[in-house]
Amino acid sequence: MSAEVRRAAEILRAGGLVAFPTETVYGLGADASSAKAVARLYAVKRRPADHPVIVHFASADDAFTWAREVPDAAKLLARQFWPGPLTLILKRSAKAQDFVTGAQDNVGLRVPSHPVAHELLTLFKGGVAAPSANRFGLVSPTTAAHVRADLGADVDLVLEGGPSEVGIESTIVDLSGGGPVLLRPGRIRKADLEKALGMKMQEKAKASPRHSGGLERHYAPQTPARLVPTYDLDKEIARLKEKVAVLAFSRPDERVDYWLRMPRDPDAYAQKLYGALRELDTAGCEEILVEAPPEAPEWAAVRDRLQRACR
Binding site for ligand TXA (CB under 6 A): 22, 24-25, 27, 51-54, 87, 89, 101, 104, 106-108, 110, 130-132, 169-170, 172, 183, 210-213
Which partner in ligand TXA, Mg ion, none is near 101 (CB below 5 to 8 A by kind)? ligand TXA
Closest residue by Cα to residue 25 from 157, 159, 131, 173: 131
| Residue from 24, 132, 171, 176 in contact with Mg ion (CB under 5 A) | 132
Min separation Cβ 29 and ligand TXA, Å = 8
**Which one, 106 or 132, has the nearer CB to Mg ion?**
132
**Which one, 212 or 271, has the nearer CB to ligand TXA?**
212
Residues numbered 278 to 297 that lie near Mg ion (CB under 5 A) are: none
Q: Answer yes or no: are the C-beta atoms of 111 and 87 closer than 8 Å.
A: no
Instruction: Give me the residue whose beta carbon is nearest to Mg ion.
Output: 132
Which partner in Mg ion, ligand TXA, none is near 171 (CB below 5 to 8 A by kind)? none
Which partner in ligand TXA, Mg ion, none is near 87 (CB below 5 to 8 A by kind)? ligand TXA
Which partner in ligand TXA, Mg ion, none is near 142 (CB below 5 to 8 A by kind)? none
Which partner in ligand TXA, Mg ion, none is near 114 (CB below 5 to 8 A by kind)? none
**Which one, 33 or 87, has the nearer CB to ligand TXA?**
87
Min separation Cβ 45 and Mg ion, Å = 8
d(CA 76, CA 88): 11
**Which one, 202 or 230, has the nearer CB to ligand TXA?**
202
Q: Answer yes or no: are the C-beta atoms of 164 and 21 closer than 8 Å.
A: yes
**Which one, 27 or 127, has the nearer CB to Mg ion?**
27
**Which one, 44 or 107, has the nearer CB to ligand TXA?**
107
Min separation Cβ 132 and Mg ion, Å = 3
d(CA 259, CA 248): 8
**Which one, 172 or 247, has the nearer CB to ligand TXA?**
172
Min separation Cβ 35 and ligand TXA, Å = 17
Min separation Cβ 168 and Mg ion, Å = 10
Min separation Cβ 109 and ligand TXA, Å = 9
Which partner in Mg ion, ligand TXA, none is near 273 (CB below 5 to 8 A by kind)? none
d(CA 221, CA 277): 6
Q: Around 19, how many Cα atoms within 13 Å sit in the side-chain half-sphere?
A: 30
**Positions in the binding site for Mg ion (CB under 5 A):** 132
